[in-house]
Amino acid sequence: MRKAFISPAKYVQGEDELLNLGYFVSTFGKKALLIAHPDDISRVKEKLDQTAAKFSISLIPSNFQGEVSGREVARLKKVAAENECDCVVGLGGGKAIDAAKCVAEGQRLIVVPTIVATDAPTSHCAVLYTEDGLFDRYVYFVQNPSVVLIDTVIIANAPTRFLVSGMGDALSTYFEARAVRNAYANVDAGLACGAQDGSCPPAKGTNAAFALASYCYETLLEDGVKAKEASDNNVVTPALENIIEANSLLSGLGFESGGLAAIHAIHDGLSVLPSARSATHGEKVSFCTICQLVLENAPTEELREVLDFSLSVGLPVCLADIGIEEITEAELTAAATKACAKEEPIEAMPFPITIEQVKAAIVVADRLGAAHKASK
């Protein structure tokens, strides 16, 4: 059996860690293309100036405006070439990081998240969009980022909603890895050769990946509420540090080397509904975790544990919580049809799933979540 595990070459998190960015740039050379939205740069400009001066490196501005289209990636590559940049730094949220991945193409990439709302920063894949901001395709690169650098002070001062959203994304990691493991399905780590044509041999998840996914869930249950309180008060505590690691490293390695299943497929299905578009990725994933548990007919105790945790940190447990006050039969069918599409990871579940079963799971998860919320 072929197994695969992939990860960033280096992961570092700590208070004021951004001040060490210049050191990591200097391991590649003297110039780095800085891909970041102007608002994110302004938030951390003092630290960027300090690290550039301390390590005698230059951060070349890219004027990134927020969309990861083919045209924008080509423009950024041109800026990097014209300035003879030695590496690429992606600083900010998901769009800036994905743009940096596309420019670097798996080489000499430093990722600096300013929020931990998803587990994508550690991964070797990115999402490309059209000029109009519509989803285009996923792209995979030869390897994961060279460095993932997280300044916990910056995360503590970001809106708490992003931290909680990251917990929603991380909540799915164990349950999807468990389903994939039971199904002996393939994982994204098998695409680590960077091939876009399907020529890279598939691979199963490792025991290490499943252990990380399991520990991710345990960490959420233990430290989630305490970390939210720290974020609400803009302070760094051990609990916040643990949740930052869970949201980014544990969940990132867990999903990529442990696998995705029905949760992210149903997320993609619900995302086609306009009313759900105000919810973040992690908020929708949180509700979809309940949907997968319904599909699996998970033990009542486990379902209650997930619902209790979600409510304790403010994650969605029903459709209304993600902006869907009412759902028509046509909308339900559209969401379930998308979730069951061939390209979706629902195929990694350990048993066949039909469109009707997904529709039923969404309805039941909504009712169970709403009832549990009302009882508290």
Residues taking part in catalysis: 169, 264, 267, 281
Residue 188 is labelled as binding a ligand: no
Residue 119 is labelled as binding a ligand: yes
Residue 96 is labelled as binding a ligand: yes
Other beta carbons within 10 angstroms of residue 342's beta carbon come to 6
Other beta carbons within 10 angstroms of residue 196's beta carbon come to 12
**Tokens representing 282?**
């992690």
- Tell me the pairing of strands 109-113 and 87-92: parallel
Rg (CA), the chain: 20
CA atoms within 13 A on the CB side of 342: 0
The stretches of the chain forming alpha helices (DSSP H) are 21-26, 38-55, 70-82, 94-104, 152-156, 160-183, 207-232, 238-245, 251-258, 262-270, 281-296, 300-313, 329-339, 355-375
Residue 100 is labelled as binding a ligand: no
352 vs 233: CA distance, rounded Å: 46
Residue 243 is labelled as binding a ligand: no
Residue 39 is labelled as binding a ligand: no
Q: In the β-sheet with 109-113, what is the strand arrangement from edge to edge?
A: 10-14, 147-151, 109-113, 87-92, 31-35, 58-61
Reduced to 3 states (helix: H, G, I; strand: E, B; else coil), residue 74 is helix
Contact 283, 165 (CB under 8 A): yes
176 vs 118, 293, 318, CA distance in Å? 15, 10, 19
For the chain, the first-to-last Cα distance in angstroms comes to: 47
Residue 321 is labelled as binding a ligand: no
Which amino acid type is present at position 301? Answer: E
State the sign of the Cα–Cα–Cα–Cα dihedral 360, 363, 366, 367.
Answer: negative
Residue 308 is labelled as binding a ligand: no
Residue 129 is labelled as binding a ligand: yes
57 DSSP β-pair partners: none
**Residue list for the binding site:** 94-98, 119, 123, 129, 169, 264, 281
Which parts are annotated binding residues for glycerol? Answer: 119, 169, 264, 281
Binding residue numbers for NAD(+): 94-98, 123, 129
